[in-house]
Amino acid sequence: MSTKPKANKVTPANAGSGPQLRFRGSRHWPGVAEFGRSLHMKSVALTIIMLAAIASTIAGEKSAPMIVELPRPNSGIYSLAQAEARKSEILSNAPTSKLVNWRNPYMGFCIHIAKDDSVTIYGHSLKALPEYREPRRRQSVADIRKAAEELPFFGNPAGILVTSDLPLKDSKTIHQVLKVLFVPSIQLFYARNSEQVGSANGGQPIRSETNRTSTGVGSRR
């Protein structure tokens, strides 16, 4: 009497042997999972750094002062009366340190009014010459007038940037400086916050008069 061979009984353990083997196999490569977690954390950190850099750049652009022109009397754009009416705008300047990297569109220099109201001449266009190479500290109004009169004009006004440690409205020196520099032959510049510039100029770019002969340029006073 022949007997039939017994078929192998499939047990739950055997049925799950395939997936179980795969699961056990993945546990033999812990470095793969660790590498994935490390890569994810690096991506998150890089994203945070990039967002912080972008935010810092935007904040810097908003807070960085802009250089604007003070209306120049008898410039061809403003009459003497019109410029005089707006002369006080320079008193609402944004305090800054010396802007040594500012590029003057004209021949000229910068003056900085310190907290003690002393004046320094710096950033002279002729700084290749020994007498203009270093900043000149403790300058009087007469010294400033002389420095301005020594500038070559070449048919354009001289350009002078006024910077200060404190708002110019708190300075007594600025009023004496304006008496000698607020003239048709000199284009004055000063620093203002970007919000102030947009409000004062309707968001329009500042008009430049570089390389353009204007009325009254030939006159020193």
Per-residue pLDDT of the chain (221 residues; tens, 9 = 90+): 555 555 555 555 555 555 554 545 445 566 666 666 666 676 766 677 766 656 554 444 445 689 999 999 999 999 999 999 999 999 999 999 999 999 999 999 999 999 999 999 999 999 888 988 899 999 999 999 999 999 988 889 999 999 999 999 999 999 999 999 999 999 999 999 866 555 444 433 444 444 444 444 444 44
Give the total number of structural domains in the chain: 2
Residue 115's contacts (CB-CB under 8 Å, 6 or more residues apart) are 165, 166
Residues 70 and 178 in one domain: yes
Pick the closest to residue 209 from 84, 115, 74, 47 (CA basis): 74
Q: What is the pLDDT of residue 172?
A: 95
Residues 122 and 146 in one domain: yes
Residues 119 and 175 in one domain: yes
Residue 131 lies in a domain: yes
Query: Residue 158 in contact with residue 218, Cβ under 8 Å?
Result: no
Q: What is the pLDDT of residue 211?
A: 41
Q: Which helix (H) or strand (E) is 163 found in, with range? A: strand 158-164
Residue 163 lies in a domain: yes
* Dist. CA 110–CA 163, nearest whole Å: 7
Tell me which residue range forms the domain holding 126: 65-201
* Dist. CA 30–CA 49, nearest whole Å: 29
Residue 214 lies in a domain: no
Q: What is the pLDDT of residue 104?
A: 95
**Helix, strand, or coil (residue 192):** strand
Residues 165 and 84 in one domain: yes
Residues 110 and 34 in one domain: no
Residue 7 lies in a domain: no
Residue 92 lies in a domain: yes
Q: What is the pLDDT of residue 48?
A: 75
Q: What is the pLDDT of residue 220?
A: 45
Residues 43 and 90 in one domain: no
**Helix, strand, or coil (residue 120):** strand
Q: Where are the alpha helices (DSSP H) in 116-212?
A: 130-133, 141-149, 173-181, 194-201
Residues 133 and 31 in one domain: no
Residues 121 and 184 in one domain: yes
- Report the phi/psi class of residue 62: left, alpha or beta, with left for phi > 0 and alpha for psi in -120 to 50: alpha
Residue 122 lies in a domain: yes
CA-to-CA dists, residue 160 to 27, 39, 130, 166, angstroms: 74, 54, 20, 18
Residues 105 and 40 in one domain: no
Residue 13 lies in a domain: no
pTM of the model: 0.64
